[in-house]
Amino acid sequence: MIGYKDYTSIILNINGERRKVIVKPSDTLLRVLREKLGLTGGKPGCENGDCGACTVLIDGKPVKSCMILAIEVADKDITTIEGLNNTEIQEAFHEEGGFQCGYCTSGFLLNAYALLEEKPEANDEEIKEWLQSNLCRCTGYEGIKNAIYSAKEKIKER
Ligand code: FES
Ligand code: FES
């Protein structure tokens, strides 16, 4: 087991780039991304694992970045919303108006991206179940669902 004390320099692999950052052992990934690396797309909502606004992908799997320490992911591939530029899911959210205030949007986008990568043929039930990990305080779920169905079709046409 690796022990960390005081400040530690680590390298994070984010959106295909290696970023060096100095962290405390107690710094969450969410806070490091936002406050030390300027990647503010992931949002602090509840910061206790309930809302999903802070979702990022770690080795392709959606993870709530408020619930994981930055030092735990030093050897993993991290994808933030800034890394999903020009993807079908981004385009579909834009076209379908899958947002209102937008606070939850990056979390939904990353989660939906991971869903369609893992299950391109996801059915209604699977989509509903998958999205339960994210909350939209504007209750804009209809647009979000439409965007996911639209992205599903776009991915088929790749
Ligand atoms: S801010 Fe991480 S789950 Fe709400
Ligand atoms: S669009 Fe406002 S929280 Fe979801």
pLDDT tens for each residue of the chain, 158 residues long: 666 678 999 999 999 999 999 999 999 999 999 999 999 999 999 999 999 999 999 999 999 999 999 999 998 999 999 999 999 999 999 999 999 999 999 999 999 999 999 999 999 999 999 999 999 999 999 999 999 999 999 999 88
CB distance 68 to ligand 1 below 6 Å: no
For ligand 2, pick from 105, 106, 146 the residue to mutate: most ligand atoms within 8 Å of CB. 105
**How confident is the model at residue 101, as a pLDDT?**
97
**How confident is the model at residue 6, as a pLDDT?**
86
Half-sphere CA count of 98, side-chain side, radius 13 A: 23
User: Distances from the Cα of 30 to the Cαs of 67, 97, 142, 148, in angstroms?
Assistant: 8, 26, 27, 25
**How confident is the model at residue 15, as a pLDDT?**
98
Residues with Cβ within 8 Å of residue 82, at least 6 apart in sequence: 15, 39, 41
Ligand 1, atom nearest to 50 Cα: 3
**How confident is the model at residue 3, as a pLDDT?**
65
CB distance 52 to ligand 1 below 6 Å: yes
Distance of CA 53 from the midpoint of ligand 2 (Å): 9
Residue with the smallest CA separation from ligand 1 atom 3 is: 49
Positive or negative torsion for Cα 116, 119, 123, 129 = negative
d(CA 144, CA 108): 8
**Encoded amino acid at 9, one letter:** S
Read off the pTM: 0.94
